[in-house]
Chain A
Amino acid sequence: MTTQPFARLNDDDLATCVHCGLCLDACPTFRQTGLETESPRGRIYLMTQWKRGGLPFTEDQARHIDLCLGCRTCEAVCPSGVPYGRIIEAGRSEVEHIRRPTPKRWLARTALRQLLAKPRRLRTAGAVTRAAQKVGLTSLVRSGRQLPALRPRFQPPAGGIAPAIGPRKHRVAFLVGCVMPILYPQSHEAAVKLLQLAGCEVWFPRAERCCGALLAHNGDLDGAERLRDVNMQVYRDSNFEALIVDSAGCGAHLKDFYPELEGRVKDLSEWLVDVGLPTPAGEVTMRVTYQDACHLAHAQRIKKQPRDLIRSIPGVELVEMRHPDICCGAAGLYSTLEPAMSARILQEKLDDVLSTRAEVVVTGNPGCQMQLESGLRSRGSTMRVEHVAELVVRAFLH
């Protein structure tokens, strides 16, 4: 536990910001408001003043931290190398230590901790939502965005191993995670199939838990550390070339927060482009557009590989929107905690997505998928949302 005020904020990290402002227009909340206080530079300045005693901490100003999506677009464009992701997680965690939590935040945080730490509870929660969905009570989830139509939960194969198709060239571990297997089992299924096709034996560690990304992004670094300790016990003594992650938020968190796994955490698209897929069996005639998941494009700097995968499928036409790398407003729990700003950002994103007249918008993160699905539905559009793996696997299903 920290005693000194803002001890978690590292002054040298903060000092890397030269106040040049080049990040401003990359920031979704600045684009919406035009306000320095809702910009990366403004937020860093605020945290710097808090840290250095130049401004007192006030709940009012903590709003500026709350309104940050944590999308890290600013970090990717910052020429000075400001580690914004680290700064905002530390800043959030300090804010949560100092202020009285609002009931909404308290609820969100407690529920998250409980659910993510105990997968069984998540399953129950999943079952509850599923039941609610069956009886048409989707609005029970009052986030303004609806849950996707639920399918049967993703089940790792018996024995916890999916063998390579053809000769085994690699042995990889797979992050099943917390939300994906319940909300998007089909993405996992496609991802595993592609890995097998690429000659990978896929191992599903049984005792593996949620990686802790959602906790860290919401200022609960202690909770995230506890999950890391559990998971590291699983990974530490096991033999695998790479830990494959098909959810951008988890991948980014694992890369930053699990130093012991250094270099071995791989996004699915990154890995597949690296090891190569066999030549696709068939053609997929489809017009698609690609939405960069923030935690893939900005936190992990992976933009090219998913596009390469998409373009490698014969018949697929990839039409870029004007700003594919601007956040859709999902940002983990953000759409629940800050529904108004999230909705504004989403509307602009939908205009951009719809202008491509694609049949499918492809992305690589469950949060983005949910946000886009619910947004497109609300606009009465028939455009579908798919995970990269789902699209690519089609080419091999003939």
Chain B
Amino acid sequence: MMLAPSVIEELRRAVGKEFVIDSSNDLRIFERDASIEGCAPDAVVLPANVAEVSAVIKIASKNRIPVVARGAGTGLSGGAVTIRGGIALQVTRMRRILEIDPVAQTALVEPGVVNQELSLVAATHKLFYAPDPSSQKACTIGGNAAENSGGPHCLYYGVTTNHVLGMEVVLADGSVHWVGGDAPDRVGLDLCGVLVGSEGTLCAITKVKVRLLRTPPSVATLLAAFPTIEAASQAVSAVIGHGIVPAALEMMDSVTVGAVEAHYHAGYPTDAGAVLLVEVDGIAESTLELMTAIRKVLADHHGYAMREAQSPAERDLLWAGRKGAIGALGRIKPNYYLHDGVVPRSRLPQILSAVGEIGVHYKLPVANVFHAGDGNLHPNILFDLRDREVLPQVESAGEEMLRAVVELGGALSGEHGIGLEKSAFMPWVFSEDDLDAMKLVKHALDAHGIMNPGKIFPDPERKMPHLAGRTGLAIEAKWW
């Protein structure tokens, strides 16, 4: 669907000529996020402020054009993909940190501010922003709020929604609202809670007020090797079973460790079956005490080659390896497909062996790198899109893994959102009634369904899931 020239004209008037892109070739460059879905928008619009966002959404509303907000496009579930065409509302020009209040420990930021940039600036006040998705050097605070993103340190500190105090949002009719407030306790209906994690389907976020925390005086980071991934999973359960909640507790299997070492040279043991990265923070005495306890539990569960970071630089390097892990898998195969299902921690050994078996069955390499502490899996199925035969296999393997998660009492997504990739699976965990309740909210806020259509809710029109048959991939496959 092409947008009428009059609509393009209106959009140009709203944001300025150079901030509307409608050349079909250029639009193709915006067809994907970090997942493997793809479909080009009909226009990319780059507003500079809330007034322009509102104007754009009013135009879209009047003409019933889909609007899909887009931050950095690092989403892993196809959330920013304009599957029904329409307007990609790229918020990356809105990247100012408007205010940092070191006393109240809050920051007010525009949605395009990059997560790591906020941390850098907060650090000058000895503060930090806790949710730290592994994509933090590129992903935006707006995208984080929309996905209710997590990160390694969310085990202890909680995910994005625990750190968003309030937001300025534009609804589907172009109206501008503040939700939430300055204090962590929300009175009245918790609209902020509803809108965080709504994946762009209810509103466009134009400002976010977040809570900042004091940088802990002491941090200890430990890397431990394990002979097998099962042993490592058992160790994870044991640590938590001892009543210890580390700031972060991450696992990587041997496939991942190999890829990561090749880029970061962080000294990860490449002979191990799996490694755990554990971090504790607080005052010096307590981190020392906790770390001693953790070391003992890990050793009791076959942990070896334990190495504690001796300097901030070494700690950064250990973390760089973990945070770059998914990208580093490109060294093995050019494409990955992953679902981020969550299981109860005690089920980790079972789910990991199920995942392993599924990989073997489909003869597909699988790399596990995940937030073990909260049972949030990331089994990356590795493949090469240029090999068309393999696509149905990848898709079936992914679906089976997710089914195994649900059968073990788990959830569809820990942090990457439902987006496009998992919408068809929603009925596995939600009853018709549950889904209807969600749809009522959606309808109340977006009666014409222009906000990020085709996401979250199962789409009766699309025979899902059929990766190979989906728009973007079909195009890509045709190029071969």
Interface residues of A (CB under 8 A from B): 15-26, 30, 33-37, 41-42, 45-46, 49, 52-56, 58, 60-61, 64, 77-82, 322
Asked if B138 and A21 make an inter-chain contact with CB atoms under 8 angstroms apart, the answer reads: yes
21 sampled A-B residue pairs with Cβ under 8 A: A15-B334, A18-B327, A18-B330, A18-B336, A19-B32, A20-B34, A20-B74, A20-B135, A20-B330, A21-B74, A21-B135, A22-B135, A24-B73, A25-B114, A26-B138, A41-B73, A55-B28, A60-B23, A79-B324, A79-B330, A81-B328
Asked if A52 and B480 make an inter-chain contact with CB atoms under 8 angstroms apart, the answer reads: yes
Asked if A21 and B29 make an inter-chain contact with CB atoms under 8 angstroms apart, the answer reads: no
Contact of B479 among A21, A33, A41, A52 (CB under 8 A): A52
Asked if B334 and A16 make an inter-chain contact with CB atoms under 8 angstroms apart, the answer reads: yes
Asked if A22 and B137 make an inter-chain contact with CB atoms under 8 angstroms apart, the answer reads: yes
Contact with A along B13-39 (1 / 0, CB 8 A): 000000001010110111011101000
Among residues of B, the one whose C-beta sits closest to the C-beta of A45 is B29
Contact with A along B106-135 (1 / 0, CB 8 A): 000000101011001000000000000001
Contact of B95 among A34, A81, A82 (CB under 8 A): A34
Query: Which of B26, B32, B74, B93 is most buried by chain A, counting CB atoms within 10 A of its CB?
Result: B26
Among residues of B, the one whose C-beta sits closest to the C-beta of A82 is B330
Contact of A54 among B91, B112, B138, B476 (CB under 8 A): B476
Contact of B137 among A18, A26, A52 (CB under 8 A): A26
Nearest Cβ distance between residue A366 and chain B, in whole angstroms?
Answer: 30
Asked if B330 and A77 make an inter-chain contact with CB atoms under 8 angstroms apart, the answer reads: no
Bound: A42/B262 CA distance, A? 25
Asked if B73 and A21 make an inter-chain contact with CB atoms under 8 angstroms apart, the answer reads: yes
Within 8 A of A (CB), among B90-109: 90-93, 95
Residues of A within 8 A of B114 (CB): 25
Contact of B327 among A58, A78, A322 (CB under 8 A): A78
Contact with A along B68-95 (1 / 0, CB 8 A): 0000111000000000000000111101
Given known contacts A18-B334, A55-B25, A79 and B72 CB-to-CB distance under 8 angstroms: no
Asked if A37 and B26 make an inter-chain contact with CB atoms under 8 angstroms apart, the answer reads: yes
Asked if B326 and A322 make an inter-chain contact with CB atoms under 8 angstroms apart, the answer reads: no
Bound: A61/B30 CA distance, A? 13
Given known contacts A24-B72, A61-B26, A79-B324, A17 and B330 CB-to-CB distance under 8 angstroms: yes
Nearest Cβ distance between residue B311 and chain A, in whole angstroms?
Answer: 13
Bound: A172/B46 CA distance, A? 53
Query: Within 8 Å of chain A (Cβ to Cβ): is B384?
Result: yes
Within 8 A of A (CB), among B295-349: 324-331, 334-336
Residues of A within 8 A of B463 (CB): none
Bound: A22/B135 CA distance, A? 6
Asked if B23 and A19 make an inter-chain contact with CB atoms under 8 angstroms apart, the answer reads: no
Asked if B73 and A79 make an inter-chain contact with CB atoms under 8 angstroms apart, the answer reads: no
Asked if A34 and B29 make an inter-chain contact with CB atoms under 8 angstroms apart, the answer reads: no
Among residues of B, the one whose C-beta sits closest to the C-beta of A23 is B138
Query: Within 8 Å of chain A (Cβ to Cβ): is B447?
Result: no
Asked if B29 and A46 make an inter-chain contact with CB atoms under 8 angstroms apart, the answer reads: yes
Residues of A within 8 A of B28 (CB): 49, 54-55
Among residues of A, the one whose C-beta sits closest to the C-beta of B18 is A33
Asked if A81 and B263 make an inter-chain contact with CB atoms under 8 angstroms apart, the answer reads: yes
Asked if B34 and A21 make an inter-chain contact with CB atoms under 8 angstroms apart, the answer reads: yes
Bound: A52/B264 CA distance, A? 31
Among residues of A, the one whose C-beta sits closest to the C-beta of B334 is A15
Asked if B120 and A22 make an inter-chain contact with CB atoms under 8 angstroms apart, the answer reads: no
Among residues of A, the one whose C-beta sits closest to the C-beta of B112 is A34
Residues of B within 8 A of A64 (CB): 29
Query: Within 8 Å of chain A (Cβ to Cβ): is B475?
Result: yes
Bound: A18/B35 CA distance, A? 9
**CB-based closest 10 A-B pairs:** A80-B330, A34-B92, A79-B327, A79-B324, A18-B330, A15-B334, A79-B328, A21-B74, A54-B479, A34-B93
Nearest Cβ distance between residue A35 and chain B, in whole angstroms?
Answer: 7
Contact of A22 among B23, B44, B327 (CB under 8 A): B327
Query: Which of B73, B117, B386 is most buried by chain A, counting CB atoms within 10 A of its CB?
Result: B73
Asked if A24 and B138 make an inter-chain contact with CB atoms under 8 angstroms apart, the answer reads: yes
Residues of B within 8 A of A53 (CB): 479
Nearest Cβ distance between residue B79 and chain A, in whole angstroms?
Answer: 13
Asked if B386 and A15 make an inter-chain contact with CB atoms under 8 angstroms apart, the answer reads: yes
Nearest Cβ distance between residue A302 and chain B, in whole angstroms?
Answer: 15
Contact with A along B207-221 (1 / 0, CB 8 A): 000000000000000
Given known contacts A15-B334, A52-B480, A20 and B386 CB-to-CB distance under 8 angstroms: no
Asked if B73 and A81 make an inter-chain contact with CB atoms under 8 angstroms apart, the answer reads: no
Nearest Cβ distance between residue A292 and chain B, in whole angstroms?
Answer: 16
Residues of A within 8 A of B34 (CB): 18-21
Residues of A within 8 A of B92 (CB): 30, 34-35
Nearest Cβ distance between residue B278 and chain A, in whole angstroms?
Answer: 22
Asked if A80 and B331 make an inter-chain contact with CB atoms under 8 angstroms apart, the answer reads: yes
Contact of B25 among A17, A60, A82 (CB under 8 A): A60
Among residues of B, the one whose C-beta sits closest to the C-beta of A80 is B330
Asked if B29 and A20 make an inter-chain contact with CB atoms under 8 angstroms apart, the answer reads: no
Nearest Cβ distance between residue B439 and chain A, in whole angstroms?
Answer: 31
Asked if B29 and A37 make an inter-chain contact with CB atoms under 8 angstroms apart, the answer reads: yes
Bound: A84/B268 CA distance, A? 26
Residues of A within 8 A of B73 (CB): 21, 24, 36, 41
Contact with A along B133-144 (1 / 0, CB 8 A): 001011100000
Nearest Cβ distance between residue B126 and chain A, in whole angstroms?
Answer: 16
Nearest Cβ distance between residue B153 and chain A, in whole angstroms?
Answer: 18
Asked if A49 and B72 make an inter-chain contact with CB atoms under 8 angstroms apart, the answer reads: no
Bound: A58/B28 CA distance, A? 13
Q: Given contacts A16-B334, A22-B327, A25-B117, could you give 18 more A-B pairs where the C-beta distance is less than 8 Å?
A: A15-B384, A18-B330, A20-B135, A21-B72, A24-B74, A25-B114, A34-B46, A36-B90, A37-B21, A37-B30, A52-B479, A53-B479, A55-B28, A78-B327, A79-B264, A80-B263, A81-B263, A82-B330
Nearest Cβ distance between residue A9 and chain B, in whole angstroms?
Answer: 14
Residues of A within 8 A of B95 (CB): 34
Asked if B479 and A81 make an inter-chain contact with CB atoms under 8 angstroms apart, the answer reads: no
Among residues of A, the one whose C-beta sits closest to the C-beta of B23 is A60
Bound: A34/B137 CA distance, A? 15
Nearest Cβ distance between residue B30 and chain A, in whole angstroms?
Answer: 5
Bound: A79/B262 CA distance, A? 9
Asked if A25 and B330 make an inter-chain contact with CB atoms under 8 angstroms apart, the answer reads: no
Residues of A within 8 A of B74 (CB): 20-22, 24
Residues of B within 8 A of A322 (CB): 120
Bound: A16/B384 CA distance, A? 10
Nearest Cβ distance between residue B252 and chain A, in whole angstroms?
Answer: 13
Contact with A along B47-76 (1 / 0, CB 8 A): 000000000000000000000000011100
Among residues of A, the one whose C-beta sits closest to the C-beta of B320 is A79
Bound: A22/B73 CA distance, A? 10
